[in-house]
Structure 1
Amino acid sequence: MSNSSKRPEIVSEKLAHALRSDSDDAFIDASPFAACLLPLLRELGWNNYAKELIEALPHFSEQLDLIDLRNILATLGYESTPVAIESDKLKHELYPALYITKEGRVLLLQGIDEQLIHYYDPSDDSYQTTEKLNLQGTAYLFTDCHHAHGSNPSEAPGADWFSNLLQRFQKMIIHLLGMTFIINLAALLVPLFIMVIYDKVIGAKSAETLPFLISGAAILLSADLGLRYLRAKLLGVTAGRLDYLIGVETFKRMLYLPPLYTERSTVAAQLSRLKQFDSVRDFFTGPSAAIALELPFVILFLIVIGILGGVVALIPLAMVIGFVMLGLFWLPMLNSKIMRSGKARTDKQRIIMQTVAGRKEIKSIGGETVWWERFRENSGEAVLSNYHTFLSNNVMNNLAQGMMTFTGVAVLGVGTLQVMAGEMTIGALIAIMALVWRVLSPMQSAFLSFSKIQQTIKAIKQINQLMKLRNERKGGKSGLVLEKLKGDIRIERVSFRYGPDRDPALLGVSFHIKPGEIVAISGNTGSGKSTLIKMIAGMYAPQAGSIQVDHMDLRQLNAMDLRRAVAYVPQQTHMFHGTITQNIRLNNSLATDEQIESAAAEAGVLEEILALPEGFNTRIGDTTIDRMPPGFLRSLSMARAFVSPAKILLLDEPGASLDDESDRRFVEQLKLLKGKRSIVMVSHRPSHIRLADKAILMDQGAVAHVGHPDEVVALLLENLT
């Protein structure tokens, strides 16, 4: 099979190919950091699958650099910390370490033995020993963060994940506050400069001091602009890192959640939940973060106004309190309108997604008019709720603007009386007016951002709740044990229900599958067949009873490792955007090109793939699958299962969407597999059931009959008649 392509091969593909062929040469040729990767993992005691290393490789990098190396190790469970230190001063308990000299030389320090330093030099692929290195540079120290070592606090239920995340940015936040303080100090000096001009220069007609004052003000304003630019850069970096970490970690957590948490939610609901997390990103990347930094310094301006104007400071202080009170009064009403508007948008989005997914069914039943009427009603509700939300926001904006104007007029009026009474100078009044706007401007912005701030707080709470859920990724790896499965499956009195208010999907199910047996499971719709096969695949855990594979209880195994050790073909065929090779290799990232060809041949689809213009490099997973025969896609799904060396094969309605030729080919495949793998197959087709060594008939979540396939076929035919 040729994997040639017009695009150059990226580094991850080269390294993955090297791992599949058990060769280190590609790592040595890629970069010094890539050359150090495997020796470093060996020194760290990493003894898990090459499969995990392939999956941890960067997908789009053209060269593996230091950042890529640290990200790979973090994915595998090893956090790294840079320390500037001389190579000979590194304590022996801190080894192994990746050392980068000031000249850019890369070394892997392996350890110290009898005062001798053992290290690996990737420049000439050599392992060396010396008494002294005498190097200046940075050592990257590695910490094992697997659960067994108790150093993964983010996984602990109940932890405030977002607060822990912010603590990582504590220094940056302190720097931002410090810069904002200096910026506000500069902003405070400008009104004071104006006051000096009016009172000292104009009043005393002292033009000689004017150039010095203007020069000082120019320097101050230049420094202010520079600080604002630096703050914007630092805020952008902080916001970008937060956005990346929040997006990646929440997406990762949702991927690793047990299927029971997510598969009962609609696609629209899950997309809506992910979109709510965007409000956190918008808060940090938008003007709201700058407003939050400015608010603490409102007190500083109020104090200066009090020093200059006395009781005049009570006016802006009262207006600040007024903004807070109005926000607390107006916010609940506005929130109800926002929630109604959000629900209407979600409903509209849901009906659009359903239309795109089921437009063929809508046309086939002639439901265009009914469906259009439903969309029209949803659109009307969305427009009406958006109008009420817009109106409330507009009223709030006008109120905020009116309060600011009233405050300015009130300060001007009271200040004028004080000037006329000789209690304040004209320069002080002008300075106070400038300071009042500095007080009210961030308050108005914060007032108008109340709804966004509340959405952000709500999204943070949801993120924390999501992070409290336990995922399926456990520290103890069981994959090495599961690689040697024989395929003995024992199900003993298993019961399961999807929710406390739902009827049992399985009730006291028991049977035994010997290694190499084919077992067919049949029954009416809703009898628990698919639920049972998903439980064998580790998708669900029994709520009563047990499922054992080779005398090991599935609940004691890592669910992810179990699924890697079991080949599962679901009822509905899903192909993802990418080439045919990439889709087949999803089930076994270690599969070589030859193994992929063999799996395709075993699935009876090799000739059809090779007949395509680009062969195995043909891209599928988008609109192209609509033009492909269902039997071809089902065979690709089978090939994806066959590429796994698993001894257990689970087939959920494999005959769905198959024509006569595809079904005949599938029957031949099963005959060839008989005795080689333990096969559990959900099917209604007599031709499939008769291939089994024994068949199971299920009814309302319980086993109604276990026996010879002909007996189950006869019972099925009786039920039909």
Structure 2
Amino acid sequence: MNSQYVDCIQQILKIIDVDAGVQNFTNEWISSNPVLNSADILDIFDRLMIPYEVHPASDKLSKIQHQAAIYLCEDKATTCKYDLNQYFEFDNGTFVPAIKPNSKATDIVILVLDRQKERYESDWFESKLVAYKGIIPRLLGISLLANLFALSIPFITMSVYDHVIGGDARNEVLGISIGAILLFSMMLLLKVLRSQLLTTVANRISREITQTLLRKMIHVPLAHSRLTGASSFMSRITTAETIKGMVQGPLGGALFDLPFVIIFIVAIGILGTWLVIVPIIALILYFILAMRHYKNQALLNNQVTISGTTRYSLIYELNSKLDYLRSSQILGNWSTRFTKANRLASKNSFSQVTHQAKYTSIYYAIGLLSTVAVIGLGIELIFAQQLSAGGLIATMMLISRVTSPAQMLSNSYPRLGQYQQAKQQINQTILQKAEGEFAYQHHALTDSAPKIDLEQVTLRFPGQLKPALSGVTFAVEPGQVIAVTGPIGSGKTTLLEVLAGLCDIQNGVIKYNGHNLTQYDPQLLRQWLGFYGDQPQIIPLTIRNFIDDNRHVEEQEILDALDRVGASRWLASLEHGLDTHLNDLESLSHPLSSFEAHVLLRAKLNCHRYPLVILDNPVASNGEKEIFLEWLEANRGNSTIILTSHDPDIIKIADQVVLLDKGTVTYAGPIPEAEPQVETAEVTED
């Protein structure tokens, strides 16, 4: 624990005047999540919904409005504030003038921008973009200068043709060439600078939106996330990339060049008088076609999305049910369905691509015809001595400065139309209710085994008519072992998820040590208990990090745990031992074996002591049973253990058994003793 970091956090909370409940919640959070580095500070600010920005230490921070700041230099942390003319540090409850520290390249400052948020803005996405509105004048200024330099090049070209060549002023070529090179270099430099600035802003926006969406999706209710497919998750995460693509690259440059098209139109009017009608007509055509393009493209995009989703669903079905399809007689029927779906998806994709290609060609043709029209009409003006040859060439160059950004924007207009869809999707995701959001209540959790009470607990998942749990009632004493059993689909796994705070119930009460489960923070609760699901879920870490689970376990304890579950020989066979990365053990073609996955999970279970342990079908084979029973007896009384099982050997050693059937408790209590069998003798008459 870094005491300076903790002090800074407490000082920031005092400065922004949070209430006592938030202070207490923060203390509980810090006790469960030690603050060791700057990332831990940011985690707390994220959880408390405190808006902040992270910047390198510099004098420019005084220009950013903020309530307070944390200056981080190596292991030192200082609560401070930057004013226009002064630097302040927080001391004895107030800001006092201080000497600004000599900043290093590695120093960072966390600016606390405002007080705690009480809710999300109705248009969260727009509010995020507002933070970057200050960059727009700079981009427009750069674009103005770049376009002014670009404007001068056609006039230089005109002077070369009319004055140098026409007037045989060869001695002026060098000066004009140097001027042209300088102007072109400045224009190129400004465009590169604008491109870098746009890319930086786009990447920052994309990163911030993606991080926020990811945090949101991690904490949405489990029932809701299960209804959302993997493709939907990926779509939400990649939405920010769509926004980024609209800002950076040629499209972003065209957006900022478009306002200055008027400069080139005026220049054409000055040089070619009524030739100015050509670019005006071209712009009108671009606009009309772009609107029509967008309307048709939106329809085609919907068709491609629907047909592509159908094809993806069939591919997923094949992957998940391949054994059944191979062994049954319906493979031909499935292949027919896939052929139709694949043909439709390919047809829609072809229509989408050809539609885009058609309009791309039309936009190109408008630009080309505009230039041809200027040449044809300009020749007439030359014969009428209203325009010089150099003026015609300059006009041709100027018209390309009008049609090029218009062509780019028209061709990309369907992408610009996706902005509203992306914005709506992002806002919908952000406004979804997530567990623990804007709630800062948490009772202290002790290291002793808890008492648990369930009273009329009822849960119905969205879209289901029958409840998964209905009126579930039973009590668990501290340190007891509870075995939950029942037919498949009776609600056993759902009951464990409810106890772990993963699913919110609609009716009833769950109490831990007499306190309602809703009075505990879900994240802190799950850090306190141990939850082990039915299916082994392994993420790509090293063996050491996976078993350690960020709880700072000594290496010898990990080795002892692996030895207790019979994995010593397996570990010894690995070249890097505990530092072996699980990515090296599995791949798409060779996932972790059942033995490897269960060994890691059992070692993790043996390595940690939880006050409450929740286990879903903890024994997958008879070979694991003896090891698990030894662990169970070693932890009985020290931890409250709730498990599901169909194994009689495990159920019979439980202190209580809970029998579920269709989400309802049919029995809860000690295992009934078997009735003694009375032997009877057959009586015969002589």
TM-score band, normalised by shorter chain: 0.7 to 0.9
Show structure 2 runs of 5+ residues with no match.
14-25, 82-87, 676-686
- Counterpart among 289, 294, 299 of residue 331 in structure 1: 294
Matched with 2:535 is 572
Q: CA separation in 2, counterparts of 1:265 and 1:301?
A: 51
Pair 36,407 (structure 1): closer, same or farther in 2 beyond 3 Å: same
2:193 paired with 1:230: yes
Pair 253,605 (structure 1): closer, same or farther in 2 beyond 3 Å: farther
Query: What is the 5 A alignment of 1:524-673?
Result: 524-586=487-549, 588-597=550-559, 599-600=561-562, 604-605=565-566, 607=568, 610-613=571-574, 614-620=576-582, 624=586, 630=594, 633-655=597-619, 658-673=620-635
Deviations 1:237-267 (A, max 9, x none): 3333333333333223222322223122232
Bigger CA drift: 605-614 or 444-453? 605-614
Amino acid at match of 2:33: E
Aligned residues: 636
Q: CA deviation at 1:404?
A: 2.0
Matched with 1:5 is none
Which secondary structure state, in structure 1, belongs to the residue aligned with residue 33 of structure 2? helix
2:443, 2:520 within 8 Å by CA — same for their partners in 1? no
Matched with 2:33 is 52
Query: What is the 5 A alignment of 1:154-303?
Result: 156-202=119-165, 206-207=169-170, 209-303=172-266
Query: What is the 5 A alignment of 1:387-398?
Result: 387-398=350-361
2:642 paired with 1:680: yes
Which secondary structure state, in structure 1, belongs to the residue aligned with residue 623 of structure 2? helix
Matched with 2:469 is 506
Which secondary structure state, in structure 2, belongs to the residue aligned with residue 692 of structure 1? coil
Which secondary structure state, in structure 2, belongs to the residue aligned with residue 649 of structure 1? strand
Matched with 1:719 is none
Which secondary structure state, in structure 2, belongs to the residue aligned with residue 305 of structure 1? helix
Identity of aligned residues (%): 24
- Counterpart among 65, 71, 82 of residue 98 in structure 1: 71
Q: CA deviation at 1:350?
A: 4.5
Q: CA deviation at 1:473?
A: 5.0
Q: CA separation in 2, counterparts of 1:407 and 1:96?
A: 57
Q: CA separation in 2, counterparts of 1:82 and 1:631?
A: 48
Matched with 1:73 is 41
- Counterpart among 387, 403, 406 of residue 369 in structure 2: 406
Query: What is the 5 A alignment of 1:460-539?
Result: 460-472=423-435, 474=437, 481-484=444-447, 486-499=449-462, 502-539=465-502
Matched with 1:13 is none
Amino acid at match of 1:151: Q
Pair 242,392 (structure 1): closer, same or farther in 2 beyond 3 Å: same
Which secondary structure state, in structure 2, belongs to the residue aligned with residue 263 of structure 1? helix
Show structure 1 runs of 5+ residues with no match.
1-18, 25-34, 58-68, 121-130, 714-721
Q: CA deviation at 1:537?
A: 0.5
Amino acid at match of 2:543: I
Amino acid at match of 2:627: R
Q: CA separation in 2, counterparts of 1:455 and 1:85?
A: 39
Q: CA separation in 2, counterparts of 1:677 and 1:250?
A: 36
Q: CA separation in 2, counterparts of 1:703 and 1:97?
A: 54
Pair 712,531 (structure 1): closer, same or farther in 2 beyond 3 Å: farther
Deviations 1:582-613 (A, max 9, x none): 22223x533333443465566x3454655543
Pair 305,636 (structure 1): closer, same or farther in 2 beyond 3 Å: same
Q: CA deviation at 1:481?
A: 0.8
Pair 694,624 (structure 1): closer, same or farther in 2 beyond 3 Å: same
Amino acid at match of 1:270: F
Q: CA separation in 2, counterparts of 1:712 and 1:452?
A: 72
Pair 479,596 (structure 1): closer, same or farther in 2 beyond 3 Å: farther
Q: CA separation in 2, counterparts of 1:688 and 1:645?
A: 20
Amino acid at match of 2:630: E
2:670 paired with 1:708: yes
Which secondary structure state, in structure 1, belongs to the residue aligned with residue 538 of structure 2? coil
Q: CA separation in 1, counterparts of 2:361 and 2:90?
A: 70
1:404, 1:440 within 8 Å by CA — same for their partners in 2? yes
Pair 624,423 (structure 1): closer, same or farther in 2 beyond 3 Å: closer
2:654 paired with 1:692: yes
Amino acid at match of 1:649: V
Deviations 1:188-225 (A, max 9, x none): 11122233344444555555555443332222112112
2:449, 2:637 within 8 Å by CA — same for their partners in 1? no
Q: State the TM-score, normalized to the length of structure 1.
A: 0.77
2:221, 2:504 within 8 Å by CA — same for their partners in 1? no
Q: CA deviation at 1:389?
A: 1.4
Q: CA separation in 2, counterparts of 1:333 and 1:219?
A: 45
Q: CA deviation at 1:569?
A: 1.1
1:99, 1:137 within 8 Å by CA — same for their partners in 2? no
Pair 259,579 (structure 1): closer, same or farther in 2 beyond 3 Å: same
Matched with 1:137 is 102
1:483, 1:646 within 8 Å by CA — same for their partners in 2? no
Deviations 1:501-555 (A, max 9, x none): 5432222222221111222222233322221211110111111222111122122
Matched with 2:23 is none
Query: What is the 5 A alignment of 1:406-445?
Result: 406-445=369-408
Q: CA separation in 2, counterparts of 1:272 and 1:550?
A: 42
Q: CA separation in 1, counterparts of 2:356 and 2:80?
A: 65
Q: CA separation in 2, counterparts of 1:332 and 1:425?
A: 44
What's the Cα RMSD here? 3.9
Amino acid at match of 1:340: Q
Which secondary structure state, in structure 1, belongs to the residue aligned with residue 444 of structure 2? helix
Which secondary structure state, in structure 2, belongs to the residue aligned with residue 696 of structure 1? strand
